[in-house]
Structure 1
Amino acid sequence: MKLDPERYAKMTRDALPHSPVLKDCLWAFFVGGSICLMGEILRQSWLLLYDKELAGTLTSISLILLSALVTLPGWYQKLGARAGAGTLVPITGFANSVVSAAIEFKAEGWVTGVGSRIFIIAGPVIAYGTLASWVWGIVYWIMGKL
Protein backbone atom coordinates (compact mmCIF):
# COMPACT_ATOMS: atom_id res chain seq x y z
CA MET A 1 0.00 0.00 0.00
CA LYS A 2 1.43 3.33 -1.03
CA LEU A 3 0.52 6.44 0.95
CA ASP A 4 0.71 9.97 -0.28
CA PRO A 5 2.54 12.41 2.08
CA GLU A 6 -0.64 14.21 3.14
CA ARG A 7 -2.43 11.02 4.19
CA TYR A 8 0.70 9.82 6.01
CA ALA A 9 0.95 13.15 7.88
CA LYS A 10 -2.72 12.89 8.90
CA MET A 11 -2.24 9.31 10.13
CA THR A 12 0.81 10.39 12.12
CA ARG A 13 -1.05 13.32 13.72
CA ASP A 14 -3.96 11.05 14.65
CA ALA A 15 -1.65 8.43 16.23
CA LEU A 16 0.36 10.87 18.34
CA PRO A 17 -0.85 11.64 21.86
CA HIS A 18 -2.14 15.14 22.45
CA SER A 19 0.40 17.42 24.11
CA PRO A 20 -1.06 19.95 26.57
CA VAL A 21 1.20 22.81 25.51
CA LEU A 22 -0.30 25.49 27.76
CA LYS A 23 -0.15 23.24 30.83
CA ASP A 24 3.46 22.24 30.04
CA CYS A 25 4.49 25.87 29.57
CA LEU A 26 2.86 26.89 32.84
CA TRP A 27 4.62 24.07 34.70
CA ALA A 28 7.97 25.07 33.19
CA PHE A 29 7.36 28.72 34.04
CA PHE A 30 6.40 28.10 37.66
CA VAL A 31 9.09 25.51 38.37
CA GLY A 32 11.81 27.67 36.78
CA GLY A 33 10.46 30.69 38.62
CA SER A 34 10.44 28.76 41.89
CA ILE A 35 14.08 27.77 41.42
CA CYS A 36 14.96 31.41 40.75
CA LEU A 37 12.90 32.52 43.75
CA MET A 38 14.76 30.05 45.93
CA GLY A 39 18.01 31.51 44.61
CA GLU A 40 16.86 35.02 45.51
CA ILE A 41 15.82 33.90 49.00
CA LEU A 42 19.26 32.34 49.47
CA ARG A 43 20.92 35.52 48.21
CA GLN A 44 18.96 37.73 50.57
CA SER A 45 19.80 35.38 53.43
CA TRP A 46 23.51 35.48 52.61
CA LEU A 47 23.33 39.29 52.39
CA LEU A 48 22.39 39.38 56.06
CA LEU A 49 25.82 37.94 56.87
CA TYR A 50 28.15 38.97 54.04
CA ASP A 51 28.78 41.68 51.46
CA LYS A 52 27.11 41.67 48.03
CA GLU A 53 29.94 39.94 46.14
CA LEU A 54 30.42 37.11 48.63
CA ALA A 55 26.66 36.68 49.00
CA GLY A 56 26.36 36.16 45.23
CA THR A 57 29.15 33.59 45.26
CA LEU A 58 27.62 31.75 48.21
CA THR A 59 24.23 31.77 46.49
CA SER A 60 25.72 30.08 43.42
CA ILE A 61 27.50 27.51 45.58
CA SER A 62 24.31 26.86 47.55
CA LEU A 63 22.23 26.34 44.40
CA ILE A 64 24.83 23.95 42.97
CA LEU A 65 24.97 21.98 46.23
CA LEU A 66 21.17 21.81 46.56
CA SER A 67 20.82 20.73 42.92
CA ALA A 68 23.42 18.00 43.41
CA LEU A 69 21.73 16.77 46.59
CA VAL A 70 18.31 16.69 44.90
CA THR A 71 19.81 14.83 41.92
CA LEU A 72 21.31 12.01 44.01
CA PRO A 73 18.00 10.35 44.96
CA GLY A 74 16.55 11.04 41.49
CA TRP A 75 14.15 13.81 42.49
CA TYR A 76 15.56 16.35 40.03
CA GLN A 77 14.95 13.95 37.12
CA LYS A 78 11.37 13.38 38.26
CA LEU A 79 10.83 17.12 38.50
CA GLY A 80 12.43 17.57 35.07
CA ALA A 81 10.12 14.95 33.55
CA ARG A 82 7.14 16.93 34.82
CA ALA A 83 8.39 20.51 34.39
CA GLY A 84 10.52 20.12 31.27
CA ALA A 85 12.57 23.18 30.43
CA GLY A 86 11.68 24.83 33.74
CA THR A 87 14.42 22.79 35.40
CA LEU A 88 17.05 24.00 32.95
CA VAL A 89 17.78 27.13 34.94
CA PRO A 90 21.46 27.37 34.01
CA ILE A 91 23.24 26.81 37.30
CA THR A 92 20.99 24.07 38.67
CA GLY A 93 20.52 22.35 35.33
CA PHE A 94 24.28 22.32 34.76
CA ALA A 95 24.93 20.86 38.22
CA ASN A 96 22.27 18.24 37.57
CA SER A 97 23.88 17.19 34.28
CA VAL A 98 27.29 16.76 35.91
CA VAL A 99 26.00 14.82 38.93
CA SER A 100 23.72 12.64 36.78
CA ALA A 101 26.65 11.57 34.61
CA ALA A 102 28.77 10.86 37.69
CA ILE A 103 26.04 8.67 39.18
CA GLU A 104 25.46 6.85 35.90
CA PHE A 105 29.10 5.88 35.39
CA LYS A 106 30.11 5.30 39.04
CA ALA A 107 29.93 1.52 38.57
CA GLU A 108 32.76 1.72 36.03
CA GLY A 109 35.13 3.08 38.67
CA TRP A 110 36.36 6.46 39.82
CA VAL A 111 38.89 7.00 37.03
CA THR A 112 37.43 5.26 33.96
CA GLY A 113 33.83 5.89 34.99
CA VAL A 114 33.26 9.05 36.96
CA GLY A 115 36.53 10.82 36.11
CA SER A 116 36.38 10.29 32.38
CA ARG A 117 32.66 10.70 31.84
CA ILE A 118 31.52 13.24 34.42
CA PHE A 119 31.38 16.00 31.79
CA ILE A 120 29.84 13.87 29.03
CA ILE A 121 26.77 16.12 28.93
CA ALA A 122 28.22 19.32 30.35
CA GLY A 123 31.47 19.11 28.35
CA PRO A 124 30.02 20.40 25.08
CA VAL A 125 28.39 23.27 26.96
CA ILE A 126 31.75 24.23 28.44
CA ALA A 127 33.59 23.82 25.12
CA TYR A 128 31.13 25.76 22.98
CA GLY A 129 30.56 28.36 25.69
CA THR A 130 34.31 28.99 25.86
CA LEU A 131 34.55 29.15 22.07
CA ALA A 132 31.60 31.54 21.85
CA SER A 133 33.09 33.79 24.52
CA TRP A 134 36.37 33.96 22.57
CA VAL A 135 34.59 34.76 19.31
CA TRP A 136 32.39 37.43 20.88
CA GLY A 137 35.37 38.83 22.76
CA ILE A 138 37.29 39.23 19.51
CA VAL A 139 34.26 40.80 17.81
CA TYR A 140 33.86 43.18 20.76
CA TRP A 141 37.58 44.06 20.64
CA ILE A 142 37.45 44.71 16.87
CA MET A 143 34.34 46.87 17.26
CA GLY A 144 36.16 48.88 19.93
CA LYS A 145 39.09 49.48 17.54
CA LEU A 146 36.79 50.77 14.78
Structure 2
Amino acid sequence: MQLKSQMTPKQKAYNDYVNQKTPNTKLFSGCVKAFLVGGIICTIGEGVSYLGRIVLGYSDLHAAAFTAIVMVFLGALLTGLGIYDRIGKFAGAGSIVPITGFANSIVAPAMEFKSEGLVLGVGAKLFTLAGPVLVYGISASIVVGLIYLVFNIS
Protein backbone atom coordinates (compact mmCIF):
# COMPACT_ATOMS: atom_id res chain seq x y z
CA MET A 1 0.00 0.00 0.00
CA GLN A 2 1.32 3.38 -0.94
CA LEU A 3 1.56 6.32 1.40
CA LYS A 4 -0.68 9.21 0.53
CA SER A 5 2.37 11.39 -0.21
CA GLN A 6 3.60 8.85 -2.80
CA MET A 7 0.33 8.73 -4.76
CA THR A 8 -0.12 10.31 -8.13
CA PRO A 9 -2.78 13.02 -8.52
CA LYS A 10 -5.04 10.50 -10.29
CA GLN A 11 -4.69 8.02 -7.42
CA LYS A 12 -5.46 10.76 -4.88
CA ALA A 13 -8.51 11.83 -6.88
CA TYR A 14 -9.69 8.23 -7.11
CA ASN A 15 -9.25 7.67 -3.35
CA ASP A 16 -11.18 10.86 -2.62
CA TYR A 17 -13.95 9.72 -4.98
CA VAL A 18 -14.14 6.28 -3.33
CA ASN A 19 -14.23 7.80 0.16
CA GLN A 20 -17.01 10.15 -0.95
CA LYS A 21 -19.16 7.36 -2.47
CA THR A 22 -18.56 4.71 0.20
CA PRO A 23 -21.45 4.73 2.66
CA ASN A 24 -20.62 5.10 6.31
CA THR A 25 -21.25 1.88 8.18
CA LYS A 26 -23.12 1.92 11.42
CA LEU A 27 -21.22 -0.88 13.09
CA PHE A 28 -22.81 -0.71 16.53
CA SER A 29 -26.42 -0.56 15.34
CA GLY A 30 -25.71 -3.30 12.78
CA CYS A 31 -24.33 -5.56 15.51
CA VAL A 32 -27.33 -4.86 17.74
CA LYS A 33 -29.77 -5.66 14.91
CA ALA A 34 -27.89 -8.87 14.05
CA PHE A 35 -27.82 -9.91 17.71
CA LEU A 36 -31.52 -9.23 18.24
CA VAL A 37 -32.78 -10.89 15.06
CA GLY A 38 -30.46 -13.87 15.42
CA GLY A 39 -31.63 -14.17 19.02
CA ILE A 40 -35.28 -14.03 17.99
CA ILE A 41 -34.71 -16.76 15.39
CA CYS A 42 -32.94 -18.92 17.97
CA THR A 43 -35.72 -18.27 20.48
CA ILE A 44 -38.25 -19.49 17.93
CA GLY A 45 -36.07 -22.58 17.49
CA GLU A 46 -36.09 -23.14 21.26
CA GLY A 47 -39.89 -22.78 21.21
CA VAL A 48 -40.14 -25.42 18.48
CA SER A 49 -37.84 -27.68 20.49
CA TYR A 50 -40.00 -27.14 23.58
CA LEU A 51 -43.09 -27.97 21.51
CA GLY A 52 -41.45 -31.21 20.37
CA ARG A 53 -40.27 -32.26 23.83
CA ILE A 54 -43.10 -31.13 26.10
CA VAL A 55 -46.21 -30.98 23.94
CA LEU A 56 -45.50 -33.80 21.46
CA GLY A 57 -43.51 -35.91 23.93
CA TYR A 58 -40.41 -36.43 21.77
CA SER A 59 -37.11 -37.46 23.29
CA ASP A 60 -34.30 -34.91 23.19
CA LEU A 61 -32.85 -36.57 20.07
CA HIS A 62 -36.16 -36.57 18.22
CA ALA A 63 -36.97 -33.04 19.37
CA ALA A 64 -33.63 -31.85 17.95
CA ALA A 65 -34.39 -33.44 14.58
CA PHE A 66 -37.94 -32.03 14.67
CA THR A 67 -36.56 -28.56 15.41
CA ALA A 68 -34.06 -28.71 12.55
CA ILE A 69 -36.75 -29.81 10.09
CA VAL A 70 -39.22 -27.13 11.17
CA MET A 71 -36.61 -24.34 11.15
CA VAL A 72 -35.31 -25.29 7.69
CA PHE A 73 -38.91 -25.43 6.44
CA LEU A 74 -39.70 -22.01 7.94
CA GLY A 75 -36.54 -20.51 6.42
CA ALA A 76 -37.41 -21.91 2.99
CA LEU A 77 -41.04 -20.81 3.29
CA LEU A 78 -40.15 -17.26 4.33
CA THR A 79 -37.63 -17.08 1.49
CA GLY A 80 -40.24 -18.23 -1.00
CA LEU A 81 -42.65 -15.58 0.26
CA GLY A 82 -39.97 -12.88 0.02
CA ILE A 83 -40.01 -12.17 3.75
CA TYR A 84 -36.59 -13.60 4.61
CA ASP A 85 -34.84 -11.21 2.22
CA ARG A 86 -36.34 -8.25 4.09
CA ILE A 87 -35.24 -9.77 7.40
CA GLY A 88 -31.74 -10.21 5.94
CA LYS A 89 -31.56 -6.60 4.76
CA PHE A 90 -32.50 -5.40 8.23
CA ALA A 91 -30.45 -7.83 10.34
CA GLY A 92 -27.45 -8.59 8.16
CA ALA A 93 -25.48 -11.54 9.54
CA GLY A 94 -28.08 -12.12 12.25
CA SER A 95 -30.28 -13.81 9.67
CA ILE A 96 -27.50 -15.90 8.17
CA VAL A 97 -26.04 -17.60 11.22
CA PRO A 98 -29.02 -19.74 12.37
CA ILE A 99 -30.16 -22.81 10.45
CA THR A 100 -32.81 -20.72 8.66
CA GLY A 101 -30.02 -18.91 6.83
CA PHE A 102 -28.95 -22.28 5.43
CA ALA A 103 -32.44 -22.82 4.00
CA ASN A 104 -32.43 -19.28 2.63
CA SER A 105 -29.12 -19.83 0.84
CA ILE A 106 -30.58 -22.86 -0.92
CA VAL A 107 -33.98 -21.49 -1.88
CA ALA A 108 -33.09 -17.88 -2.79
CA PRO A 109 -31.13 -18.62 -6.00
CA ALA A 110 -33.84 -20.96 -7.26
CA MET A 111 -36.57 -18.36 -6.68
CA GLU A 112 -34.94 -16.10 -9.25
CA PHE A 113 -36.04 -18.57 -11.93
CA LYS A 114 -39.68 -19.02 -10.86
CA SER A 115 -40.87 -17.22 -13.99
CA GLU A 116 -39.63 -20.24 -15.97
CA GLY A 117 -42.03 -22.52 -14.09
CA LEU A 118 -41.89 -24.74 -11.06
CA VAL A 119 -40.22 -27.72 -12.75
CA LEU A 120 -37.90 -26.15 -15.34
CA GLY A 121 -37.32 -22.98 -13.35
CA VAL A 122 -37.32 -23.45 -9.59
CA GLY A 123 -36.84 -27.23 -9.53
CA ALA A 124 -34.02 -27.34 -12.05
CA LYS A 125 -32.18 -24.35 -10.60
CA LEU A 126 -32.59 -25.70 -7.08
CA PHE A 127 -30.54 -28.72 -8.11
CA THR A 128 -27.92 -26.82 -10.12
CA LEU A 129 -27.41 -23.89 -7.77
CA ALA A 130 -27.69 -25.46 -4.33
CA GLY A 131 -25.87 -28.63 -5.22
CA PRO A 132 -27.35 -32.08 -5.34
CA VAL A 133 -25.77 -33.08 -2.05
CA LEU A 134 -27.61 -30.36 -0.12
CA VAL A 135 -30.95 -30.96 -1.80
CA TYR A 136 -30.80 -34.74 -1.46
CA GLY A 137 -29.58 -34.44 2.13
CA ILE A 138 -32.45 -32.19 3.13
CA SER A 139 -34.99 -34.25 1.21
CA ALA A 140 -33.72 -37.46 2.79
CA SER A 141 -33.81 -35.93 6.28
CA ILE A 142 -37.43 -34.87 5.77
CA VAL A 143 -38.43 -38.32 4.50
CA VAL A 144 -36.63 -40.07 7.37
CA GLY A 145 -38.15 -37.61 9.86
CA LEU A 146 -41.64 -38.29 8.52
CA ILE A 147 -41.04 -42.05 8.69
CA TYR A 148 -39.91 -41.69 12.31
CA LEU A 149 -42.92 -39.53 13.06
CA VAL A 150 -45.49 -41.81 11.40
CA PHE A 151 -44.10 -45.13 12.65
CA ASN A 152 -42.87 -43.74 16.00
CA ILE A 153 -39.51 -45.49 15.63
CA SER A 154 -37.12 -44.97 18.53
2:106 is equivalent to residue 117 of structure 1: no
| TM-score under structure 2 length normalisation | 0.69
- Percent identical pairs in the alignment equals 42
1:90 Cα deviation from its structure 2 partner: 4.4
1:69 aligns with 2:49: no
Q: 1:131 is matched with which residue?
A: none
Give the unaligned 5+ runs of structure 2. 1-7, 135-154
Closer/same/farther in 2, CA of residues 33 and 121 from structure 1, 3 Å limit = farther
Gaps of 5+ in 1: 127-146
Give deviations 1:70-111, integer Å, cap 9, x for gaps.
Answer: 222211101101111111124211211222233321221344
Distance of aligned partners of 1:19 and 1:121 in 2 relative to their CA distance in 1, 3 Å threshold? farther
Two-structure CA RMSD over aligned residues (Å):
2.4
User: Would the alpha carbon gap of residues 42 and 72 (structure 1) be closer, same or farther in structure 2, given more than 3 Å must change?
Assistant: same
Note the C-alpha offset of 1:39: 0.8
CA displacement, residues 36-73 of structure 1 (integer Å, 9 cap, x when unaligned): 12111211221111111110010011111221222222
Instruction: Answer yes or no: is the 8 Å Cα contact 2:110–2:129 preserved in 1.
Output: no
Match of 1:10 in 2: 16
Once the 2 structures are TM-superposed, how far is the Cα of residue 25 of structure 1 from its aligned partner? 1.4
Given that residues 28 and 86 in structure 1 are in contact (C-alpha distance below 8 angstroms), is that contact kept between their aligned partners in structure 2? yes
What TM-score does the superposition give when structure 1 sets the normalisation length? 0.72
- Equivalent pairs, count: 125
